[in-house]
Structures are given as C-alpha cells and as structure tokens.
Amino acid sequence: MPSARPWRRLLQAIALVALFGHAPAQAVPAFARQTGLDCAACHVGAPELTPLGRAFKLSGYTLGSTSLFPVSATLTASRTGVANNVQGYPKNNQGVIEGGSLFLAGKLDEHLGILSKWTYDNLSSNTDNNGNTQFDAGLTSDNTDLRLVDHIARQDLDLVYGLSLNNSPTVQDVWNSTPVFGFPYQVSNLAYNTWLDSPPAPLIAQGLAQQAIGLSAYVWLNQRWYAELGDYQAADGKFSLFSQGMTFYNRLEGNNPYWRLAWNQDWGPHSLEIGTFGLDARVSTVPGNNGAPANHLRDMGLDAQYQYLAAPHSITLQASYIDEQANWNQAGLGVNQSNAKDTLHSAQAKISYWYQRRWGLTLGLFNVNGSQDALLYPASANGSPNTRGQIVELDYMPRPWWRLGLQYTAYNAFLGAATNYDGNGTNAHDNNTLYLYSWMAF
C-alpha cells in the first residue's frame, strides 16, 4: 500500500468529514472543475457513471488537480401528486422546495480523495399526538466515501488498489445496478418518507444508510476484474460523525462482513458488467440500545449492467436480484416477528435511452416478495410484503448541471394484494404517484 504519509493524511481527512458532512451524490461540479471535463464525460443523466466515471471513482477521485475549495451545492424543487388522496396527505399537488446540499468533493492528495456532503431536508416530518404531520426542516448526514488508493501500471499489469471508508453498503460501488445509486435516482421525499407505507426492502438496499461505518479493501485488475472485502459496524460513539442528524432504525452489532465481485468488459461504445455482492449482518432487536440481542440477516445479490454510449445515442440496461434470509432472535418473536425465519426477495430492472445526453426516457420494473409475517408487515391485511409495479421517467437537461424530471410510479400490487391490501379498502393503484422535479447543481 502507499507509504505512511498518505495514511496520516487519511486521518486528517476524517477530521475534514466532521467539519463538512456527507450525503448522496449526483454529478458534482467540483469534480468537473478538478478534471476540466464536462459532466457528460463521467455521467449519463447523473448519477449514472460512464467507464470514465467509474475509473475516476475507483482512482479515489484523485484524477486532475487539487482544488483549494472543492465545494459544490445542489437544490431540488418538486411537486408530488398521489392518485387517491383519501388520507388527506399534506402538500399533495403543491410545489415545494425539497432542500439543498453542500458537497466536499475532490482530490486531497495524490493518493487520497473524498465525496462527502451535508443535506438540508426541508421536508423532514414527524407525527404529533393527534396524528397530524408536522414538517421540521433539518440538517442531516448522507453518503460518504473517503478513499486511499494507489496504482501499478506496467505493460503486463494494470492494478488499482485501495481502501474505502464509507457509511452505507454499496455507496462505494461504481456500477449503478447496486442499491445506493440504482434507479430511481431521484424520488419524492413526500411519497416515500411521509405519506405511503414503504414497501419492504432487503437490509443492504439502503437499510443501513447513515447507520453504519465500513472500511473495505478493493482491487481493480486490468480493467476487467473487481473484488472488494469489507466490514461494517454501527456508526455511533467515535464514529457518530458519520450518522449525524440521523435516528438509528437499524443498529449493527459487532463486525458485519461485506463482499463484492464483478467482471467487466469495455469495447468500443459498449460496456458489460456481471457481478455479485452481499452482506452478513447482525442487527440489534432494540435500535436504541447498543448491546441488545441481535437478529441475523444475510443478503446475497446478483447484478448486471450493459451500456451503449455513442453520440448522439446512449442506452443502458441494469438488473439486480437480492435474496435475504432472516433468522430472528427469540427476544423479538411474538412482538416484532411471527416467524422464527423469514425470506425476502427483491428484483429490479430498468432500461434507459438518452438522446444527445439531453433527453432521457427510462422504464423500470420492480418486484418484492417473501414470507408472510403478520407482525413484521402490520400494514398488510394478510401479512405479506409482496409488491410490484413500474416506474416511467422522462428527463430533460437544458444544462449539464440542471435536470427536469417527470416520474410516474404505478403499483400492480402493494403489500400482498392488488385490492384492499390493508383491510381498510385501500387499493394498490391508490398509491400511484406522479412526481415532477427540478434538480440543479452549482
């Protein structure tokens, strides 16, 4: 690995994270200024990465020159409408400012780089004693990826190797077929976080976002083979700067291994990846109590991605499948879960087309199914997690730093049924959502 000097700088960079914060990334103008490249060189409708974008991330964000102030910001405004507002959702079909973010993103040293951000959430919500929704804006952490890297380049060998310190499994991944940076890239805070019952998802599908701190070692061999092995722990105590502003809903206990293996081939305008990833986790039965008995969840995923990038046309196909096996601790049986063991399966696929990197059309499919468990899925009348549907999105980018999106999510089934899934007469299509948004980066 690199000499001791970069290791000392790694510790200094961790201190910088505490000052500047962290969050999910899209196209970051600070990177464009650092490299002198247009955003479209590394992204197809940000945050989807091109081969150059993947190389930039794997190299630890160190390509180009060091900036004195590697800072960027984003702002999102939107309007969300749900098909059947029988619940009287607040702000339904109203224009809102979702919030903004401040990035620290760039090269810190020849071997050290960072992507980190604070997010101001203008739609943070809670429910008062009368059951009314209250909105309280707040500053929260989000995804962080701090990298220490080196590169061996010879006639017979091209090897990038390094370390990633991050706070959400798969945030460090460079293919958009894994959860954190997978489609949909932009979602309605109101629909997903405030109004609707959230469809179940495997733990690795952002169930540990800003709940964990992980260190992983990776290698990228001859631009063909990628391998990574890491370990995650709870982001509390001395690691609490990685979860600032967040309330623990999934607290890891002890050491929790993560792995990733992928094969990649780039030829001409084509790129193909096939891979696997997984997490073996022990999650506290009491999120607010460190040291409580733990549930054992094992997530194993398969993914694939194909890209065709040739002006003026760009096409991307992505697919993933995650199998989760849950063994519940006896302490929660009869309280949080009905079964001693449960399974959950999540499948997603999408195809997108971009013309001149300005106009984009994407069709996504999703399907979640698993064991029936009345206590685990109380919002379902039959205790089922089964949910499936489609997402269609039309995008227009008048500038590389400005995206306008119109997204429609349609549900064929929700929590186990197409009709009356909650026992109160609510149908799956009642949750269909139209989302119009404007995203800008500076």
pLDDT tens-place string over residues 315-352: 999 999 999 999 999 999 999 999 999 999 999 999 99
Residue 26's pLDDT is 52
**Residue 101 maps to a domain:** no
Per cent of the chain over pLDDT 70 is 93
pLDDT at 16 over 60: no
pLDDT at 100 over 80: yes
**Dihedrals φ, ψ of 38, to 5°?**
-70, 150
Q: Which helix (H) or strand (E) holds 37?
A: none
**Residue 104 maps to a domain:** no
Q: Which of 128-142, 184-198, 268-282 has the lowest mean pLDDT?
A: 128-142
For residue 370, the cross-strand partners are: 344
pLDDT at 437 over 50: yes
Confirm if 167 and 243 have CB atoms less than 8 A apart.
yes
Residue 337: which domain range?
Answer: 73-96+138-441
Instruction: Give residues with Cβ within 8 angstroms of 227, minimum separation 6.
Output: 218, 219, 221, 260, 261, 262
pLDDT at 198 over 70: yes
Residue 134's pLDDT is 78
pLDDT at 19 over 80: no
Q: Which of 49-53, 348-352, 399-403 has the lowest mean pLDDT?
A: 399-403
Residue 22's pLDDT is 34
**Residue 68 maps to a domain:** no
**Residue 423 maps to a domain:** yes
Instruction: Calculate mean pLDDT across residues 399-428.
Output: 96
Q: Which of 59-68, 211-220, 421-430 has the lowest mean pLDDT?
A: 59-68
Residue 290's pLDDT is 82
Residue 190's pLDDT is 86
**Neighbouring C-alpha atoms within 13 Å toward the C-beta of 223:** 12
User: Residue 137: which pLDDT band, with cuts at 50, 70 and 90?
Assistant: confident
Instruction: Calculate mean pLDDT across residues 145-165.
Output: 96
The mean pLDDT of the chain is: 90
Q: Which of 35-39, 156-160, 221-225, 274-278 has the lowest mean pLDDT?
A: 35-39
N-terminal to C-terminal alpha carbon distance within the chain: 35
**Residue 224 maps to a domain:** yes
**Residue 19 maps to a domain:** no
Cis status, amide bond into 6, omega within 30 of 0: no
pLDDT at 235 over 70: yes
What is the domain count for the chain?
A: 1
Residue 140's pLDDT is 85
**Residue 315 maps to a domain:** yes
Q: How far apart are CA 405 and CA 364, in angstroms?
A: 15
Where residue 363 sits, what CATH number does that domain have? 2.40.160
Instruction: Give residues with Cβ within 8 angstroms of 162, minimum separation 6.
Output: 58, 60, 147, 148, 149, 150, 217, 218
Residue 9's pLDDT is 45
Query: What's the gap between Cα 216 and its chain centre?
Result: 17
Instruction: Calculate mean pLDDT across residues 27-42.
Output: 87
Instruction: Calculate mean pLDDT across residues 1-6.
Output: 42
Q: Is the dihedral of CA 16, 185, 428, 433 positive or negative?
A: positive
Per cent of the chain over pLDDT 90 is 74
Q: Is the dihedral of CA 229, 233, 235, 237 positive or negative?
A: negative
Confirm if 258 and 229 have CB atoms less than 8 A apart.
yes
Q: Which of 76-85, 116-125, 163-172, 378-387 has the lowest mean pLDDT?
A: 116-125
Instruction: Calculate mean pLDDT across residues 411-432.
Output: 96
Residue 197's pLDDT is 79
pLDDT at 61 over 80: yes
Residue 38's pLDDT is 85
**Residue 80 maps to a domain:** yes
For residue 187, the cross-strand partners are: none
pTM score, whole prediction = 0.91
Q: How far apart are CA 176 and CA 168, in angstroms?
A: 15
Confirm if 172 and 145 have CB atoms less than 8 A apart.
yes
CA distances to 179, 301, 365 from 320, rounded to whole Å, are 9, 7, 11
Widest pairwise Cα distance in the chain: 69
Q: How far apart are CA 147 and CA 111, in angstroms?
A: 8
Q: Is the dihedral of CA 136, 139, 141, 142 positive or negative?
A: positive
Residue 23's pLDDT is 34
pLDDT at 63 over 70: yes
User: Residue 356: which pLDDT band, with cuts at 50, 70 and 90?
Assistant: very high
